[in-house]
Amino acid sequence: MPKRGGKSHGSTCPQCGAVVQPSKTWQLVSPLPDSQGRITITIMGSFQCPQCGYKWKGVVTKMKVGEDVEIEGVKKPPTESTTKPRQSSVIELDLEDIMSEEG
């Protein structure tokens, strides 16, 4: 019986140990960011072993996208664009001006 749960690498058959490539892949996007504001994108795959015919679904890879990009625990250093503060402009509206234009 194959192990359920945990981290599945998805490249070897859990029954016979043969190396298998996914026949189909799809993305799952986390609806909520983590504590650092990054979104997790999980690439899932369906597999079928050519030797024993066993079928299963598993995680192909995970990515965290946001300020810093992390792919399966390998953290890339921040780029210059992520270290610069954003330029913002302030827009001030006076409610009396808006009300006088409408009425």
Query: pLDDT by residue (tens digit) across 17-76?
Result: 888 899 999 999 988 888 888 899 999 999 999 888 889 998 889 988 886 666 665 555
Q: Does residue 61 belong to any structural domain of this protein? A: yes
CA distance linking residue 89 with residue 98, whole number of Å: 20
- Reference 28, options 62, 75, 70, 74; nearest CA is 62
Q: What residues make up the domain containing 41?
A: 7-76
Give the chain's domain count.
1
Q: Where is pLDDT greater, at 6 or 82?
A: 82
Task: Check residue 86 and give its pLDDT.
Answer: 64
Q: Does residue 102 belong to any structural domain of this protein? A: no
